[in-house]
Chain A
């Protein structure tokens, strides 16, 4: 089968899954629905993988599927960048769907709705990144927006979920008009929506870049449009995982990256994106530090991590863009792992409040292990993909003499170590809190663990052998944006060398790490897990007590107190909403009683106004 005929296969597989769910809904159990969704996701992933050899060779797969609207066909243009995001959506999405089978097994009423929305979510992102037409790209943009809205409000009778969904809708949909405005203005200039069309490329100007960036900022939680994401944590955990890792926040990253294909960034554009990226790194990390809700902490960590990714793209060099794209893929893997582990914790403990958790490593050892792997990746510990991603980013920033960027990224990395340490220790180490001691704390069922395991293995495999993703996915993506292939990356992220010296260096590092590990295990006496916990510098509690989130970083929280007030834009948004609503209410109170009580006088006044209008304008 040719690559052209396979181009639509990922979306088709996902939509077929939707159709089956809808048609067979009354006959299937929630588990069966989950399995069907998994098969759809798997088929989409295999179809995406089958495109890799073609796209890796520098080819672009193009095809026209059907005439969507008169004069606007649904055309695909699949290049390296598209494929990176397709693989991320289908690969990570499929692992999450595997996890969902057991997680949603008791959800009798909403299982069809859930799986239909999940599959549409994935299909929406795949369609978004494959579309050659900007209008249909926008339509997909809104489809994934709606999917996230409905999924965040999945438990719609819960007021918190409902309000969270409202915030997601308003805060991401409204800036999305920036993208639509840019698309339509380009259309009015050229008569075309096709971004590969050279005429369209020439029509993009600096103002339109700002409109596109506005839309991307809201989707990719860049400061100051990031405040919807903690509220989205009312969603079922697999939704949070998909939203954060592959199918939602990454849409904005795709859009920013795609602008390299169809426009030259205006003067100041790079500085603006870098500023937004760096501010997002810091704000996300600072807010994550004070969170005591495990999922909200992860949500703010997504804000911070997206800052790293966008900073990479903002550097605008081949090394920077490569680093940003590698970071994007890596973040998908470790963030999905962390969310899915958080789901297991919440499921087992009945809470995600860090002050009520602790000591779960003893009862959920496999979950703790997988969490630690992903936490190591997000912090940037060697042997994980997070290390490679950060390494590439620092290198790119240093190559570009962006010392301030390096400094901010370094501070962000330190802060991410602190909040991940807080989350890890408060959840998994110390003694079990009294409330959990008598609770049945069981590990997640096998399929859920496999789902998490696949993702966390990815964090390690692509940390040890990053050349796999660099060669097959990331470099073709950067090349499709017009950047030459980046310097080759070898084992453990060692770059610039090939052959014996690189392998030797990698070998030395591996041996050193192994020896270190052996020495540590031999030299460290076995201890009660409840004592000797590193708390980040605060006084240790008495032996046997639980170390909770509030024991951590109180000093830092106090230090950042003014920042928490100053950096939260929600009061401003609320003030705008109150003002707009107030105008409407005052207009209604002022006009309606008078007009409706005397409709014929109102008609006479309206005739007078019309005549006046005509005399002024005619």
Chain B
């Protein structure tokens, strides 16, 4: 196992352990959820340990199908429908990626133009569906709203991150996919950034907003991969790492508060910080990390992605990326100030469970530590 694989394995172990701790108080579904979660965790760990190749892909595909079942375990027609949609679209995604890999062949020999275009179409569809970038994003908000928060975290912070890791491997192994079609990837990335950010502004439900924020984030990460080795690839992997951690923190905070409140958090749920100060603080730190504000780990990846944008598309692209980030600042600031801060009339905090609070605190510490001392972490990335 190389250093990057080891770093991602540590990330996934941290996320999975945190999910298990959160799931002790956040209602996830019936007992099947725990069995499915355990199997999924084992598959993910095995996938990283076996290294790059078909075995990894098959193990991760297996984990994706387990996730579809986890969505459905929450019960109710919406969860069942979301599980079915996720399952069907992931089948399509896996078929497309497998098709692309078969066309590429083991030797990755030179291909005619039509063949290359066909492969690219399959890759964009396959990874677009898995990573939920525009225009293939539509399953993610449905799943985020219908599934339990921790199932969504498993999908966004583990399975999507692993799929992105796979795409990063592809970027290194078959560089022409990105280099010869830069414009296409830049258009897709910008569409994800702006589409995700603007749609997030239109949301009232916090979990759906977080889902659109993931789509927004994916745009930056794709741009990093498009820029390639150097700032781009390192920034994309560091960004994916930060994305996983911060989404875990954000969904964890929302999940804990929603469980205690017994209702979904929306923009009308004013002043929840008075009741849940730790969840509120964790949400704010998570939001800062997603936006890429120092001293969180999000900045470590984000500045590299901006620099990659400068390499790739000059000043105009950097400024376009920053404007998209500005929109993200607006929707996160609105969520923080409409949902968490402000008054409810209540003065005393509600008694909170110790385990999830400690988990949130630990995650905040990790996000800040990686932002303040990023050198050891960055040194393991390619």
CB distance from B181 to the nearest CB of A (A): 6
Whether A157 and B187, one on each chain, are in contact in the complex, defined by CB atoms closer than 8 angstroms, is no
Whole-angstrom CA separation of A574 from B300 in the bound complex = 32
Q: What distance in Å separates the Cβ of B10 from its nearest Cβ neighbour in chain A?
A: 18
Report Cα–Cα, A587/B191, bound state, in Å: 13
Do B375 and A618 touch (CB < 8 A)? no
A610-B319 contact in complex given A180-B303, A584-B201, C-beta closer than 8 Å: no
- Asked if A401 is at the interface of the complex by the 8 Å CB criterion, the answer is no
Of A184-192, A364-372, A543-551, the one contacting chain B is: A184-192
B139-174, CB under 8 A of A: which get 1 and which 0?
A: 101100000000000000000000000000000000
- Residues of chain B lying within 8 A (CB to CB) of residue A605: 135
Q: Which of B1-9, B18-26, B36-44, B121-129 participates in binding chain A?
A: B121-129
**Complex Cα gap A139–B199 (Å):** 29
Question: If A156-B273, A181-B319 touch, does A606 touch B136 (CB 8 Å cutoff)?
Answer: yes
- Interface membership of chain A positions 606-618, coded 1 if the CB is closer than 8 angstroms to chain B and 0 otherwise: 1101110110011
Complex alpha-carbon distance, A135 and B85, angstroms: 44
A68 and B307: CB pair below 8 A?
A: no
Decide if B103 is an interface residue (CB 8 Å cutoff). no
Which chain B residues lie closer than 8 Å to A207 at the CB level?
315
Residues of A within 8 A of B333 (CB): 166, 169-170
Contact of A584 among B89, B202, B271 (CB under 8 A): B202
Closest-CB distance, A571 to chain B (whole angstroms):
17
Whether A589 contacts B202 in the complex (CB less than 8 A), given A70-B379, A165-B341, A610-B124, comes out as: yes
Are A613's CB and B273's CB within 8 A? no
CA distance A609 to B134 in the complex (A): 10
The reply on A528 being an interface residue by CB < 8 A is no
Quick check: B202 and A587 within 8 Å, CB to CB?
A: yes
Let me know if B181 and A170 touch, CB within 8 A: no
Query: Which residues of A sit under 8 angstroms from B322, Cβ to Cβ?
Result: 177, 180-181
Interface segment, A321-329, A436-444, A591-599? A591-599
Say how far B43's CB is from chain A's closest CB, in angstroms.
25
Is there a chain B Cβ closer than 8 Å to A107's Cβ? no
Contact with B along A134-159 (1 / 0, CB 8 A): 01001100110010000001001111
Task: Mark each residue of chain B from 211 to 250: 1 if its CB lies under 8 Å from any CB of chain A, else 0.
Answer: 0000000000000000000000000000000000000000
Tell which of A259-267, A416-424, A453-461, A575-583 binds the partner: A575-583
Interfacial residues, chain B to chain A (CB-CB below 8 A): 85, 88-89, 92, 113, 117, 120-121, 124-125, 128-129, 135-136, 138-139, 141-142, 181, 183-184, 187-188, 195, 197-203, 271, 273-274, 288, 293-295, 299-300, 303, 306-307, 310-311, 315, 318-319, 322, 325-327, 329-331, 333, 336-337, 341-344, 347, 373-375, 378-379
A residues sitting closer than 8 Å to B (CB atoms) are 66-70, 135, 138-139, 142-143, 146, 153, 156-159, 162-163, 165-166, 169-170, 173-174, 177, 180-181, 184-185, 187-188, 207, 577, 580-581, 583-589, 591-592, 595-596, 599-600, 602-603, 605-607, 609-611, 613-614, 617-618
With A69-B375, A170-B330, A609-B135 already in contact, 10 other A-B pairs whose C-beta atoms are closer than 8 Å? A69-B378, A70-B379, A156-B273, A165-B337, A166-B333, A169-B329, A181-B322, A188-B311, A586-B202, A606-B128
